[in-house]
């Protein structure tokens, strides 16, 4: 982090030198030498560091299993909650869902978006990419949001035709289709939700792999605090995903697949980190660009789905939610803010 700030300070110094440069002044030559010297420093700063760090491989491998267990616990605990058939459960689930929406919104704003800006603002990026710089965050995010919508719509279109074929023996009046939530618009909406959750999971997974990689290459002295932060990170995000997966109308095997996919992403990132830690260069152009593009795509997916599908569908335009007592609504919003605050605090570390 401090290295990057130093690089920014260095670039600022270069810019100042260039601005102070007046053509024909007697010390022209000195300025050029200064500039080329500064240029070399920047190039070296982006090369592999090559310095020895304290690195206990067994400790890092232990982290793989700890995160597998914690992420699994998060996603399974809340997805199982929906199986309980008790009157209080639906309200409890709603509180958990609100917590999850807060977690996802905060992840998009506080984790993924700042990381994407940091990547595309990195002075070690190739000059071609630096020309448009952080503008690429907006570009890739915008494209991802369009693709997310397109995928949801294409998916719904196909299932709509399928569900019409399945139900062609039943004749429905238009009024019935609207009133009976089990058929017509509702079934299309459910399909839509399935795609939403799959896309949300994909968006979170990109970030999970990147933080896993960070942990995998971390030196021993920062490993423990980073591991603790990432455990809470994965636990909260797992709970957010679990409550959404539990509410889906999917086959058991499909739900299990969604529940298994999430907990393995961070361990995969750590394993890659452990494998490459000797040759790892956090300032390599390829790595920064890959991270920048993945973070920007994740941001686009998470913003689109969090606001259009969750905030809008589940809260603002949800008739059932509006009917709740103000005190229960207050508890729901409090849960959302607590989820958001928890992830905002964790953004300090990972
Ligand atoms: Zn994070």
DSSP of 113-151: HHHHHHHHT-TTS-HHHHHHTTHHHHHHHHHHHHHHHHH
How far is the centre of ligand 1, averaged over its atoms, from the C-alpha of 294 (Å)?
13
Residue 50 in any domain: the answer is no
What pLDDT band is residue 249 in, cutting at 50, 70 and 90? confident
Q: 319 CA distance to ligand 1 centroid (A)?
A: 33
Cα–ligand 1 centroid distance for 91 (angstroms): 28
Domain membership of residue 51 (yes or no) is no
- Regarding whether 41 and 160 lie in a shared domain, the answer is no
For ligand 1, the distance from its centroid to the CA atom of residue 208, given in whole angstroms, is 7
Whether 82 is in a domain gets the answer yes
CA of residue 347 to ligand 1 center, whole Å? 6
Average pLDDT of span 224-246? 95
If asked whether residues 149 and 14 sit together in one domain, one would say no
Calculate mean pLDDT across residues 151-161: 69
3-class DSSP state for residue 25?
Answer: coil
Domain span including residue 5: 1-45
> Residue 248 falls within a domain, yes or no?
yes
N-to-C CA span, the chain: 12
Q: Give me ligand 1 centre to Cα 112, in Å.
A: 7
Instruction: Return the pLDDT at 44.
Output: 65
Residue 262 shares a structural domain with residue 325: yes
Are 224 and 340 contained in the same domain? yes
pLDDT, mean of residues 262-288: 94
> What pLDDT, on the 0 to 100 scale, is given for residue 163?
52
Instruction: Tell me, in angstroms, the distance from the centre of ligand 1 to residue 329's CA.
Output: 28
Note the pLDDT of residue 157.
Answer: 56
Residue 327 in domain: yes
Q: Do residue 88 and residue 15 come from a single domain?
A: no
- Residue 314 C-alpha to ligand 1 middle, in angstroms? 24
Same domain, 98 and 170: yes
Q: How many domains does the chain have?
A: 2
Q: Are residues 114 and 186 in the same domain?
A: yes
> Are 41 and 143 contained in the same domain?
no
| Cα-to-centroid distance, 204 and ligand 1 (Å) | 9
Q: DSSP label at 108?
A: I
Domain match, 139 and 109 both:
yes
Whole-number Å distance, alpha carbon 46 to ligand 1 midpoint, is: 24
Q: Answer yes or no: is 235 within a domain.
A: yes
For range 180-209, the mean pLDDT: 72
Given pLDDT bands bounded at 50, 70 and 90, which one contains residue 189? low
In 3D space, the residue among 254, 211, 258, 214 whose CA is nearest the CA of residue 238 turns out to be 258
Same domain, 22 and 71: no
Centre of ligand 1 to C-alpha 343, Å, is 8
For the chain, how many helices (H) and strands (E)? 14, 0
Residue 190 has pLDDT above 80, yes or no: no
Q: In this structure, are 38 and 61 located in the same domain? A: no
- Tell me if 304 sits within 8 A of 149, measured CB to CB: yes
Q: How far is the CA of 222 from the centre of ligand 1 (A)?
A: 16
Tell me what the pLDDT averaged over the chain comes to: 82
- The verdict on 135 and 245 lying in the same domain is yes
pLDDT in the model for residue 1:
42
* Region 175-196 average pLDDT: 52
User: Ligand 1 centroid vs 106 CA: distance in angstroms?
Assistant: 9
């Amino acid at each position: 982090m401090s290295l990057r700030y130093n690089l920014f300070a260095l670039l600022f110094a270069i810019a100042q030198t260039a601005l102070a440069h007046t053509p024909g002044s007697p010390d022209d030559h000195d300025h050029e030498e200064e500039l080329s010297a500064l240029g070399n420093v920047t190039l070296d700063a982006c090369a592999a560091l090559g310095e020895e760090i304290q690195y206990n491989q067994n400790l890092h491998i232990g982290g793989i299993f700890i995160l597998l267990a914690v992420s699994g616990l998060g996603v399974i605990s809340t997805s199982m909650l929906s199986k309980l058939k008790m009157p209080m459960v639906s309200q409890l689930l709603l509180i958990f869902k609100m917590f999850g929406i807060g977690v996802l919104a905060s992840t998009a704003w506080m984790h993924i978006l700042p990381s994407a800006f940091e990547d595309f603002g990195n002075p070690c990026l190739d000059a071609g990419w630096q020309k448009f710089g952080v503008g690429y965050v907006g570009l890739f995010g915008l494209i991802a949001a369009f693709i997310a919508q397109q995928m949801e719509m294409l998916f719904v279109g196909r299932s709509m035709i399928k569900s019409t074929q399945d139900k062609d023996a039943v004749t429905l009046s238009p009024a019935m289709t609207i009133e009976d939530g089990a058929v017509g618009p509702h079934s299309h909406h459910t399909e839509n939700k399935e795609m939403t959750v799959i896309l949300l999971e994909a968006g979170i997974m990109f970030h999970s792999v990147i933080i896993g990689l960070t942990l995998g290459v971390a030196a021993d002295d920062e490993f423990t605090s980073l591991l603790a932060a990432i455990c809470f990170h994965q636990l909260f995000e797992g709970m957010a995903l679990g409550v959404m997966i539990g509410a889906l109308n999917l086959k058991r095997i499909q739900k299990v697949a969604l529940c298994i996919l999430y907990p393995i992403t961070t361990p995969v990132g750590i394993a890659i980190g452990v494998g490459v830690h000797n040759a790892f260069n956090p300032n390599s152009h390829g790595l920064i660009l890959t991270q920048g593009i993945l973070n920007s795509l994740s941001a686009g997916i998470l913003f689109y789905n969090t606001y259009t599908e969750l905030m809008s569908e589940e809260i603002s335009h949800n008739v059932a939610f509006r009917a709740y007592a103000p005190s229960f609504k207050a508890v729901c919003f409090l849960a959302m803010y607590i989820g958001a605050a928890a992830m905002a605090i964790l953004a300090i570390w990972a």
